[in-house]
Structure 1
């Protein structure tokens, strides 16, 4: 192989290697954010875990806020793409579709708790500098998509509510809280450290007569019954000031 061919091969391989390294940074960074929290996380600690020079890490991200944004961007895109697959393959009522989307929310959190925490729980690190990821960031606004599906269900008479936006926000808050509880239950089901639970006030999540799986099914069924029962309608006059 000629010298010129070697140069071409090196150049063509370099972007691939850089992309692979960036994916590694996102994955390890995601887990470190979960383990250390926003304030305990540091790029120095991340570089050490990656066995990288910290200056080299700055070739990928300018700050831990930039990394936080990049990680969330990756997993919001993944979540959105998976939801689109569910929507495109769905056959049935709008309510059934909403329940599939809510179930996927649970599954996403179960399959990747660290990504879920980055998306919904861990707050953004402060930074005086606005980096490229933040400058180029485009909001996913996934709740708008849920609101649209809720409105379609209202239009079809499947849901009797009047305000799709507030119902969508209510359902999101319910699902988010239930997902956090289910995740805690599942962790306790997999753990035998009863003594540590007492100090963390999580004992109650592991001593119920139902499993985390049963809890998820209950939540989804309760939502289904709650949004389709005309006797449970909340009128705008009930909360409008």
Structure 2
């Protein structure tokens, strides 16, 4: 459904208020006043401050989550095709796709990364980590059963490594890197973590 001019104005003013003050300290009264509308006009579109934040964030955040799930499924497809040696190259390829997606929706992910305390998105990165840990652990167990790797890693270590990795990726947004800087950074990051996984898991 196409947005009205009033709705666009509310979203733009709300975004700036959230970016400047964070969700918890942002004022709905200030948003309405700056937008130049009544609270009644606001409630005609959003029933709360959180609903406004969700409208600004959810399309991009949910889109990244869905693509992340698709990336995990793509890794499983390597197993029956006997192409599991390509898994790290595939991961790096998807990482580049993800970082470009994040930068295509930079303000939304800035809100998620730096301004979401008090909303359901405060745990967004943690939820990605948990999803990745569960799937990666299962994927590596399947590779181990096929004789594709020798090493083992505890779930606690999986979680700590994955949490460090995702935190590092989203630091691009927290530190306002340019897209070009972010792409260079995450590719160096991929090399670093791939070397670590290779050392621990001893891929064949």
SS in 1 for 2:192: helix
**Displacement after TM superposition at 1:225 (Å):** 0.9
Higher relative contact order (CA 8 A, sep 6+): 2
Pick one of 19, 25, 30 that aligns with 1:34: 19
Q: CA deviation at 1:164?
A: 3.8
Q: Distance in 1 between matches of 2:178 and 2:69?
A: 27
Task: Indicate if the aligned counterparts of 2:129 and 2:166 stay in contact, CA closer than 8 A.
Answer: no
CA contact (8 A) 1:95 1:224 kept: yes
Q: TM-score, normalised by structure 2?
A: 0.65
Contact 2:92 2:190 in 1 (8 A): yes
Gaps of 5+ in 2: none
**Aligned mate of 1:144, from 130, 133, 143:** 130
Q: Which residue of 2 aligns with 1:106?
A: 99
* Residue 83 of structure 1 pairs with residue 68 of structure 2: yes
Partners in 2 of 1:166 and 1:46 — Cα distance? Answer: 44
For each residue in 1:21-41, what CA deviation from the matched residue of structure 2 results, as whole angstroms up to 9, or x when unmatched? 497355653343123433553
Q: CA deviation at 1:221?
A: 0.8
Larger gyration radius, structure 1 or structure 2: 1
CA distance in 2, matches of 1:172, 1:35: 27
Task: State which of 158, 169, 188 in structure 2 corresponds to 1:218.
Answer: 188
Shift of 1:64: 1.9
Question: How does 1:87-236 map onto structure 2 within 5 Å?
Answer: 87-88=72-73, 91=78, 92-93=83-84, 94-125=87-118, 141-155=127-141, 156-157=143-144, 158=149, 160-164=151-155, 166-181=157-172, 183-186=175-178, 211-230=181-200
Q: Secondary structure at the match of 1:144?
A: helix
TM-score, structure 1 length as denominator? 0.57
Greater share of residues in helix = 2
User: What do you get for the CA RMSD once the two structures are aligned?
Assistant: 3.8
Flag the 1:147–1:109 CA change in 2: closer, same or farther, 3 A: same
